[in-house]
Structure 1
C-alpha cells in the first residue's frame, strides 16, 4: 500500500472531506502511538508502512508511559478534534494498521500496552478473532 492509498483509506474510514484532515489524523494517532510503544514494537509496526507514514511512528520519542486517557488527549490536541473523535480516529487507524502489518506485530504492540488501551483495538476485534490473552 502506498502513501496515497493509505491516507485515502483513512479519509474514507473517517469520512473526512479533505485529504489533509486524513493526514493530520494519521500523524496525530501514529505519533502518539509511537510515543507510547517501546522502540522495537514501534519499528515492527512501522516497517511495512509507506515511508511517508512510518516516520510518524519512528520519529516519535518512544517508551513514554501514559494512560489511554492521556493518549486520547494527545491525539485530540494534535488532530484538533474532540476526545470522542480522537478515540474513533485512533481505533480506525489501528484497524487499518492491522490490515497492513503482520498480525504478530499488532499483537506484540497490543500486549505491551496496559489494559486500559483495549478500546483502541475495538475495530481490530470486529474483523478478526483476537489472539490476545
Structure 2
C-alpha cells in the first residue's frame, strides 16, 4: 500500500477533516505501538508499511508494559485531542490498525497481536477488522 492510499483510507474511515489529521492519528498510533511491542517486531511491521509511516515504528528502543487505557491516553496526547476524547483516540487507533492490517502480511499482523496481551484490553484495537471478517 502506498503512503497516499494509507493516509487517504485513515482519513476516510475515521471521517477526519484533513490528511494532516489522518497523518497525526497514524503517527500517534504507530509511535505508541512501537513503545509497547518488541523493537524487532516493530521494525518488521514498519518494513511492510510505506517508508514515511514505517519510521514511526522504529523510533523507540525500549519496550514498556502498559494497558490499553494507557495506550489510548498516549495516542490522545500525541494527537493533541485531549483527555475528554479518549473514545475518539481509541477509534482513531482502531482505524489505523485496520488499515495496517490491509497493508501488511497476515503473519506480521499475527506477530503484532501476540505482542499485545488479551487481558489488558488490546483486543479492542482489532475490533473493526474482526467485525468486518465476521459473517453478517
Decide: shared fold, TM above 0.5: yes
8 Å CA contact 1:32, 1:60 repeated in 2: no
Name 2:122's counterpart in structure 1. 117
The question of 1:40 aligning with 2:40 is answered yes
Unpaired segments of 5 or more residues in structure 2? none
Unpaired segments of 5 or more residues in structure 1? none
**Alpha-carbon separation, structure 2, partners of 1:15 and 1:84:** 14
Q: Which is worse superposed, 28-37 or 60-69?
A: 60-69
CA RMSD of aligned residues (A): 1.2
Q: Alignment partner of 2:75: what SS? A: helix
Name 1:54's counterpart in structure 2. 54
8 Å CA contact 1:76, 1:83 repeated in 2: yes
- State the TM-score, normalized to the length of structure 1: 0.91
Q: Which is worse superposed, 120-129 or 32-41?
A: 120-129
Which of 100, 106, 110 is the matching residue for 1:107? 110
8 Å CA contact 1:75, 1:86 repeated in 2: yes
Instruction: Give the Å deviation of 1:62.
Output: 4.2
Structure 1 consecutive aligned stretches of length 4 or more whose deviation exceeds 2 Å: none
* Count of aligned residue pairs for this structure pair: 129
**Alpha-carbon separation, structure 2, partners of 1:26 and 1:62:** 20
**Alpha-carbon separation, structure 2, partners of 1:15 and 1:38:** 31
Which of 67, 85, 90 is the matching residue for 1:87? 90
8 Å CA contact 1:7, 1:23 repeated in 2: yes
- State the TM-score, normalized to the length of structure 2: 0.89
Name 2:70's counterpart in structure 1. 70
